[in-house]
Amino acid sequence: MNELPQQLVNGLLLGSMYGLVAIGYTMVYGIVQLINFAHGEIFMTGAFGALTVWLWLPGGTTMWIALPLMIVGAVVVSVAIAVGAERFAYRPLRTAPRLAPLITAIGLSLALQQAVWAWYPEAKSARTFPQISGGPFEIGSVTIQTGDIFLVAAAPISMAILAYFVMKTRTGRGMQATAQDPDTAKLMGVNTDRIIVIAFALGAAFAAVGAVAYGLKYGEINFRMGFILGLKAFTAAVLGGIGNIYGAMIGGVVLGVAETLATAYIADIPGMDKFGSQTWADVWAFVLLILVLLFRPQGLLGERVADRA
Amino acid sequence: MTALLEVEDLRVAYGKIEAVKGISFKVDAGQVVTLIGTNGAGKTTTLRTLSGLLKPVGGQIRFNGKSLKKVPAHQIVSLGLAHSPEGRHIFPRMTIEDNLRLGAFLRTDKPGIEKDIQRAYDLFPILGERRKQAAGTLSGGEQQMLAMGRALMSQPKLLMLDEPSMGLSPIMMQKIMATIAELKSQGTTILLVEQNAQAALSLADQGHVMEIGNIVLSGSGQNLLHDESVRKAYLGED
């Protein structure tokens, strides 16, 4: 089947977008054991941040100039909201029972959706997102859509920056230490409060890059876009092993490829012709999650809890 | 002359339950001071309070003339107070060398850090042989060595060791105690918490016996070692 390489590339691109958002779930969970269910909305507000910058720019600005500024706008908005949420919503609840910050996160998620719906101009329906011109790009038998070309560059660059930060910098080592044993990290002189803020900020920055990718890929953004995508990214984080940043990227790619292949080929299986359409894509994504949780609950790269003796 | 560490009427509580009920003691520079006592006496709570992980409900802690009461945990190590915690708490998924580097987290003198890593390997050769191995793969005794080596990496004025012999084989325990003696002979000031009273008191200049949150007996290591009540309660004689 000669369209298989094409489907794989489509899946890889979709998956790397999931992965960019998944990093935020996994980093925050790794440090404070909180599932930040507002992360999908942090992603969504990033898209609106990028759109706002675009609307400020004089008409006719080329994307070569606009795109970097839009990324900056997206990152600034997402990071500001994430850091604000940490400071005013989550930090006061740090010693509260687990359920309290979780419910706060869900509440924050709804509040952010409604805030954009109510106050962002014309956001009650989808808003058009600016597009890159040129393309599509043909590499052999594979076509990369113009809107996806950003992901081809952004995903690996983001991953490389993250890996360098975590493995090579002093703050990154402090972050690893905090994830493994927060009290002992303090004994080493690590300011764990600061590390937590950095984890929220970094996760938000990668989500913002993902949000720009989303806008370019689908051509429009809306106040609800963070819900399903957030759920998928969370799935990707669990799939890869929550708490593991490489796992988040790998989980995203596995999820994106599985979803794409299922949508493309499942209808070819006799008796399954009803289940091949795009509407079923989300179902297959979550079926994959259930299977992983059944057979490898720690995720693909996750570590068994037993080694945390 | 003022002491390096002065603890005065220290009280620490978990909720309503007071775990440390007003203890006072001093550690002079160059001394080894030990807190001994059974489980639940408040020894670990005392050390965790000194390093800022717990906040006292009352009393004073002065280190090098400065009150520690308002200093957050992550800044206390920079004042020269290092803590090797009970249960060792090495970072299991990092290499031995990265664990040692974390001990020097606040230091910026690269050559000095490299020199001190080498010093830790000289002190504990097994760590040097396995420097690239994940710390979680070490045995209990080796993890204890790593925890002590890591605490030394901050170049502390006072080294606090919480139950370094806990859960170790007799041979490994002897090794750890010999290392503490060696550190003492090099002039390191040590506050040692131990359940193994015999070993701790033989090393210590000063000892304090803790019982349910109070210091019930104090004296020089040698005096306590020969004290009738201590021998009965902690050294298994009757």
pLDDT tens digits, A5-41: 999 999 999 999 999 999 999 999 999 999 999 999 9
Q: Is B201 exposed, middle or buried (0-12, 13-18, 19+ CB in 10 A)?
A: buried
Q: How many CB atoms lie within 10 A of CB A204?
A: 32
Q: Chain B residues with CB inside 8 Å of A308's CB?
A: 92
Residue A130 has pLDDT above 90, yes or no: yes
Q: Chain A residues with CB inside 8 Å of B106's CB?
A: 188-189
| Residue A306: band (very low, low, confident or very high) from pLDDT cuts 50, 70, 90 | very low
Q: How many CB atoms lie within 10 A of CB B226?
A: 12
pLDDT, average across residues B10-26: 95
> Contact, B198 vs B235, CB < 8 A?
yes
Evaluate the omega torsion of the peptide bond into residue A182 and state whether it is cis, within 30 degrees of 0: no
Burial A238-251 (b: 16+ CB within 10 A, else e): bbbbbbbbbbbbbb
> How near does any CA of chain A get to the CA of B226, in Å?
36
Relative to beta strand B32-36, strand B206-211 is parallel
Please give the share of chain B, as a percent, with pLDDT higher than 70.
98
Which pLDDT tens digit goes with each residue over A95-122?
Answer: 899 899 999 999 999 999 999 999 999 9
Report chain B's terminal Cα–Cα distance, integer Å.
41
Sign of CA dihedral B177, B181, B187, B191: positive
Q: Chain B residues with CB inside 8 Å of A184's CB?
A: 85, 89, 91
Q: Which of B74, B82, B89 lies nearest to residue A181, judging by beta carbons?
A: B89
Q: Do B93 and A180 touch (CB under 8 A)?
A: yes
Relative to beta strand B206-211, strand A137-139 is unpaired
pLDDT, average across residues A163-170: 93
Q: Look at residue A307 in the predicted model and tell me its pLDDT.
A: 40
Token pair belonging to A65: 């100039």
The residue of B75, B79, B91 whose CB has the most chain A CBs within 10 angstroms, and thus the best one to mutate to test that interface, is B91
Q: Which of B85, B98, B136 lies nearest to residue A184, judging by beta carbons?
A: B85
Q: Distances from the Cα of A54 to the Cαs of A68, A221, A263, B234, in angstroms? A: 10, 13, 34, 75
The residue of A181, A184, A305, A307 whose CB has the most chain B CBs within 10 angstroms, and thus the best one to mutate to test that interface, is A184
Q: Which of B77, B85, B98 lies nearest to residue A189, judging by beta carbons?
A: B77
* Interface confidence: ipTM more than 0.95: no
Q: Which of B51, B74, B77 lies nearest to residue A192, judging by beta carbons?
A: B74
User: Mean pLDDT over all residues of chain A?
Assistant: 92
Which pLDDT tens digit goes with each residue over B80-101?
Answer: 999 999 999 999 999 999 999 9
Please give the share of chain A, as a percent, with pLDDT higher than 70.
97
In the DSSP assignment, the letter for residue B95 is: B
Q: Which single residue is written with the structure tokens 């019930």? A: B216
Alpha-carbon gap, residue B140 to B163, rounded angstroms:
12
Q: What is the pTM of this model?
A: 0.91
| Residue B1: band (very low, low, confident or very high) from pLDDT cuts 50, 70, 90 | low
Which pLDDT tens digit goes with each residue over B122-178?
Answer: 999 999 999 999 999 999 999 999 999 999 999 999 999 999 998 899 999 999 999
Q: Look at residue B237 in the predicted model and tell me its pLDDT.
A: 64
Q: Which of B92, B101, B150 lies nearest to residue A173, judging by beta carbons?
A: B101
Chain B contact present for A71, CB below 8 A: no
Which pLDDT tens digit goes with each residue over A261-290?
Answer: 998 888 888 877 777 777 888 888 889 889
Instruction: Pick the residue from chain A with its C-alpha nearest to B81.
Output: A187
Q: Look at residue A303 in the predicted model and tell me its pLDDT.
A: 64
Instruction: Pick the residue from chain B with its C-alpha nearest to A183.
Output: B53
Chain B contact present for A182, CB below 8 A: no
Q: Lay out the sheet containing B58-63: strands in order across.
A: B17-27, B5-14, B58-63, B66-67
